[in-house]
Each structure stands twice: as C-alpha cells, then as structure tokens.
Structure 1
Amino acid sequence: MADPILASLRAVTSSGSPSLAYLRADGTPTTDLAEATDVSLPHGDQVPLDTATAFFAAGKGYLPVRAIVFLWALRDAPFGDYLTSAFQHQVAAVGFQERNELVEWLRGAKDRLDVGHAPIAQEVGGVGADGDTVMAEANATQAPPSAAASLAYRERRNEYTLRSRGTYLTPPGNKQFSHLTKLCYDIFIRNKPPPTAVSAMHGDAPSKRAKGKSTGLSAATGGAPADAIILVPPGFNTLLNMYNVKQFLDRATFEPADAVRAKGDAKPAYIEMTRKGLLGGKKSLKVLICDSVDRLEPGDWDRVVAVFAGGMAWQFHGYKWATPVELFTRVRGYHLKYHDEETSPSVNAWNVRVFSVHRSKRHLDQPLVLDIWADLEKWIATNKPHLLP
C-alpha cells in the first residue's frame, strides 16, 4: 500500500517506541488524543490527525490518521471495548479482521496488507498503473488493488460483521435512536404510559404533561430537590465509574470496574447514597450519583457538588459547563488513579484534586475515602450550604 504517512507511522510503531507523540494546535505536546491536532513522525515531520490515509475501510472510506492512531492506542483492548471507545470518541472504527491485520502490520509482523484497499476498479471506475491503492479526493479516480487484495475484498463482502452489545446500538450512517433512550426511560423509570406508535417513531413527547411535575433525576429516584449530585465518567476504561463507585464511596473498598462487570452485574442508571455523620455531627446527607447528564434538568445543575474526572475532555460533552476550566470553578473536581501511575498532563491542568489508590493494599482504601468525603463536605459547607440538611 503506497502511502508515506502509513509508512512513517509503521516506522514508529514497529520500532518499539512506547507511544506516538501528540501535539496540540499550539505545538505543545499532550498525551490526550482527544485534544491533539497533530502527530509527530520521524525526522520532525508533523501530520494533522484529520489527514486521510490510503487505508480504505468498508463503509468508512479512507481512514484519517486519527483513526489509525486510535486503533494502535487500543491494540491490546478487547474488540468490543475498542468499538465502544471509538463510538464514544467519535472516531471511525474498522472491522474485526481489518483491525487485526492493521495492528500486525503496524507491529512489523507483516510486510504487506491484504485489507484496507479500495474496491475493485469496476465498482469505483478507476484504473491504476501499478495496482496499488492511492489517496484520492471525493469523486476522483481511484486505482484498483492487486489481484490478492481484490480477492480479499470480494471475500470480505460475504463476511458477517462481528456484533457486540456496543455495536448493536451503533447504527450505520447518520441514523440516531436517542428517542428510544427517552422512551425506555419514561416507561421503565418514570412509569409513564407509552405514547402512540406515530409519536414514538418520531420521538415526540406525549401531548399532555402534568403541569409542575419534575422529570429530572430527583423525580426518577423519588428524592428531594435538595439532594446533592455527584457525576462520574461514563466510560468503561476509567478507574471509577457506575460499576464500582458505590462500593468505593459507601463501603470504602476499591474493586476494579472490570472485575465488577465480569460478575455480570448490570450498570445502574443511578445510585442513591446516604453520608452519615456529616461534618462530624449526627446529620446525614443524601447523595445521588449518575454518569449521564441527560437525566439532569436545568435546575439540577445547582445541586451538582462533585465531578470525578476520568482524564478525557470528551467526558464533559453535554455538561452545562463544557470546558474543564469553567466546570471546576463551579463544582469540586476529583481524579482517581493508581499509586504507581503518573497523572496525565490534562488532569494536571485542571482544578481537580488527585487521589491515588493502591493496586493491592485494600486497608488503605478507608482513609482515602474518608479524606475524599471530608474534603467534599467542607467544600459543600463553603460553596453550597443550602444543600446541607
């Protein structure tokens, strides 16, 4: 596959380099791919992450550099986790076979790629001189692949795409099924009767709604409108999420989220907790924890007291305050990491307090959790005393 960009990427990934170097728009280095605009290649070359490569993915077209770099960063992750993360980061994902072939080629284990070539010339209307795939603009002539690549493409058209619980909810094209989330939320959480078939198809709200009735998180939980709210990251790969946050904050015991998921426990839509002995007294504080801001009404944001940052800026998409600078001036920010890991530069730039959890010494969890609660209670007393009982 004749592509100097892919060849340069392979030179880095196959050399045993621990990671690729990402750069922000101002040229400063970063470890956060979400905020990076360029990738640094050998000989000091910088390539924009949105640059198209010659790797052609079925249904996706020519993949940008960002998709290739993202795939390499998650090369050891299970395929389902890779698809879920790609959907969350809005990065083009490839199929199971294409991913394996591309990873092996980037490692240097293969000399050529039998996947990633454009469709055969009869289907795309192009004829090339050397038989290699070339980069092309929209509606431009594309060169046909080699005979082996053409055969591989024909075989792939008959393959069944591997599906997972993540990909079943990822429709092709620009289709959106967000209205189904609201429909299920109304029926199963709020116990509202389903709308008519026509209104459900278009995501229309019921024509009659009780005046003054709250549809926010408190209405779903039956809580009071003064209950404090804590937001956690929605991703599977974060150290703290909805799978293990209750055991950590309520029982002062940390268990990796992957271990909790392996038990088959379903992710809760929200969690209710009661913090006893508030500020050393006898009063208790009720806290609601969730990872989806879709359940928050405009008035609920005043009750958000803390946000656990996972380290990626995409977590704050849909927040009332979308930028970390503005967000962490209005709520208390926390970040949880392992004791033997470095804090990412993006987290260091945010106004959050970093806590380190030990990988194996569970007796250290209790003082850590007590420190978190003590810090949060003081912050609430100073900044949002109206939430105190």
Structure 2
Amino acid sequence: MATSVTHDPLISLRRSIASNSPPTPTASPDGSAPELATENLGVATHLHFTDPEPHTIALDTPTRFISSDQPVDLRSIYFAWQKKDVNIPDYIASAQALNDELGGTDGAGAASTVQNLVFVERLDLIAWLEGASDESEYIKGLESDKSAAKLAEVASGAAGGVSTVPSGIAGARSGKQIDPRLQQIYNLERKMGDRNSILRGIKPTDFSHVRKYSETFFKDRKKSSHPSTAPSTTTTTSLASRDKKPGRRPDPIILLSPSASSLLRMSNIKSFLESGIYIPADSNLAGSSATANILHVSRTLPSIDGQRSFRFILVDTPEQFKPDYWNRVVAVFTTGQTWQFKSYKWQNAPDLFKNALGIYVGWRGEDVPATVKGWGRGVTSAQIEKWNPQQGISGRWRDREVVEGIWDRVEESMRSKGWVSHVLWVLIPTSRSSASQKPVLGPPDPYIDHLIRNY
C-alpha cells in the first residue's frame, strides 16, 4: 500500500515500539492474514503495524534515515533495532547470514540486501526509535517541513521577500523596452528578504551548540563572580525555562573495565547500578546480555536537574568513540590495571582521573590495590560483600547502600565539572561600537532573547 506522511516507516516503527506493540513481519501485503506472519526477515516482504491504525509497509521501502548519502530501507532499520543488544561482530555476522538467505535479490529481481549501519549510526537510530532522543542527525525531515525550507530561501534572498527595483530610467518605466543584456544583469541581482523573514529565520532552530560552548565560560564566571551578579543568573534561568523546545542534552558516558577480573562487567552492571544488587558476572542470574557492547541506565541527579533523568551510556571499550565523546565521559570503573587506559584519550591515570571520576569496586575486607591508592582523590573506592551462593540475591541487602554512595560521587563529580541544568548564556560584545573587542560572557540581550523565545 502507498506510504503517506501519516504512515511514514520510521514514525510507524517508533510508535509501535512506544506502545509495546511491535510490528509483525509478513510475507504478504495483506497483514490481516495470520498464516503468512513470519519472524524470518529473509522470507518476509512487509511489516504489519497495528498502531495507531492497521497498515502494512513493504520492507524494501526507503526511509528518511540517511547512511553514506543513501536512504536506508525499512528492512535494514528493523533488523538494526532487532539486533540492538548484540555486539558489533555478531551484528555483522547476522546481517551477512540474512543477506545470504535473501540471495541478493527480492522477488522482483531488484537488489535486496540488509545494509550494515556503523556503530554511531546504529546508536543514534536506536535512541531515536526508543524515544530517548527526539532528533537525529541522520534522519531527514518530512515533506511537511517544506515551509521551513521556504523560510530559509526567503531569509537568504533566494526567493520571496521584497524584490529589488531596477535602477535607472529604463527600469523605472514599465512600458519601455529593456535592453536584453541589461535584463540579464537584472535577473542576476540578489533578492533581499524583508524584515519579517530576516528576523524570523528557520524553524525549528537548535541552540544546543550555544549551550555547549557557553558551559565552559559559565563555569569560569561562576567561580569568579561577585554575589551582586546573582540576580542576572536568576533572570537567565527564567528565560531559559520559557524555552518550550530545549536543545538535546548529551548523554553522559560511563566506561567499564574489560578485565576478566573485574567484579562489574557488561553482564551485571545494569542490575548493580539500577537495582542496587550485585550478581556475579558469569552467573545465570545476571540481567544483561554477556555479549552486549552498549547498555543504558537512567538516573535522576537532583542537584543537577531534578526534572529530567539523565540517560547514562555504559560501554567497556572506547574503540567507536568520536573525539567529542570524551567530553561526555563522567566515570571510569577500574581494577587498578593500567593497560585498561592504553586506548583512552588520557593514557596516564592521573590525567584521566582529573577529567573523569575513577571508581574501584572490590570485596569487603580485602585491601585496595596500592596503584589505586596512589591515584589519589580522583578515584573513589567501594567494597561489597562477597557472593554467597546459598543466600543468593536475598543476602544482598547491603549493596544498595554502596550503589547510592557511588551515584552520590558521580553526581558530585558531574556537578563540579559543569554538568548543570539548562541555563542559557550567550556571548555578546561588551561594546557594540567596538567590533574588534573580545566577547565576554553575559546574559542574552533583548533582541537575542526575542529570537530564542519565538523559535
């Protein structure tokens, strides 16, 4: 059936995930035939959705998700979401096996393969599908957003706005014949936008980059500011609170130790940080998949932002990191083995723990390694009771206290390193008459504030 804006493949898949009614792969465009339902994407040709209304979309339908300048088909998107908890080698192997089963062509003889998404693209896609993020740099806007593009053309002078009036007597007289060469010159003149188009700009506008660059200046100003500047801070906070569409907040990252001797690994870290219960990493009771290479944990940090929870990303290797990801690393679990840091941005432990909180977790009653003690106050140590197989989970009532202490230290470290609630500051010149003067940090002036509140 035809895909409309209402039945956009990405929106349909996101709605079905949010309503806990995932789509059903089927081998027929008629999704109402249960006998044709199949879990095998090598056989299925369509996805049948039930929310908000029953409809079916072909798996080879191109989506608005762009990878390598090409739209990714719905089959690859659905397959990436199905394999969200597997590691990269298993994901690639599963994609190859599915491509072998597809045989490289669909029933119509056209190319039909599952496209491998790189780690960053797959992470961004899964976050958007599960509702953890409302925007994605890889997803194009809908056709209904053309009005925003039209505003952009008007603002740039490419279209609309106030047309220029040809100068001279020949151009002023509409009834007089204009020389063809002169008309070519007039056609090349740039059309100017009117005051409304220039002031309004493009919707929606993302000011998250302003917040990103202003946090560093805001932190330095907060340390050296006089108490008399407090009213300005309060005013700025109230201005930011009126912003109905705050920019996307980056997710903080916690790095785990990949060492086999670590008490906390990818298989048991989620139950430890979320439920406050330690379970051995190699136990069948561990809640997380032992093969998962990325996990998410949500936690509210009242002293930073009591309104929204932070979504922490848990990984045990930085091999897929972009350079700016290191600015989001807030904590590093370590066993005291320095080889863990060889692939880090800061390979020297003292430098690493100046930029991120170090966490060592060991057994109660055992000594903390000398290397960990030598790293100083940048590393916090915690001790948990040894696992008793006879008591099992019922004997882990003291773990919650340890976990809360770890979260307190993470919150304190994040707050000291500039993780604050959405307080918007902008860079403005100290004097409008001096263009060469360096900008200083200050509250938004009325003009910029007007633009922000109207976007």
Same fold (TM over 0.5): no
Larger Cα Rg: Structure 1 or Structure 2? 2
Q: Please classify the TM superposition score into its range, dividing by the shorter chain length.
A: 0.3 to 0.5
Superposition TM-score, scaled by structure 2 size? 0.37
Superposition TM-score, scaled by structure 1 size? 0.43
